[in-house]
Amino acid sequence: MKLIFAIVQPKDAKRVRNACIDAHFGVTQMNSVGGFLREGNTTFMIVSKDERVDEALKVIKDHAQARRQYLTPGNGLDNGASSYPVDVQVGGAICFVVPVERYMEF
């Protein structure tokens, strides 16, 4: 059994969540904040049987879209080094897969 953490942009959260539910994956959604942009993003926790992990990752991949986001000068992130907006590509999804040692329901 594995635990998938998937970090997606808020715009994609509903699509990812609904697609996971439609595919019969249990999912928990949490609001989170990225350390670099310091903007809100969404983290999903999905526990899956080993043999369904690739399927879960495909569901996430198919419903999360990469976008460009702009860092505006003076927001404290670039130490004043740039007076021009800098753009970075964010997502589709950042995923981590970790083993689940025990799964219990009380």
Q: Is 85 helix (H, G, I), strand (E, B) or coil?
A: coil
**Gap between the Cα atoms of 16 and 35, Å rounded:** 22
Which helix H or strand E contains 95, and what residues bound it?
Answer: strand 93-99
Pick 14 or 70: Cβ nearer ligand 2BA:
70
Pick 2 or 52: Cβ nearer ligand 2BA:
2
Which range, of 16-24, 32-40, 44-52, 53-61, touches ligand 2BA by CB under 6 A? 32-40
Amino acid identity, residue 51? E
Binding site for ligand 2BA (CB under 6 A): 7, 34-37, 41, 88-91, 94
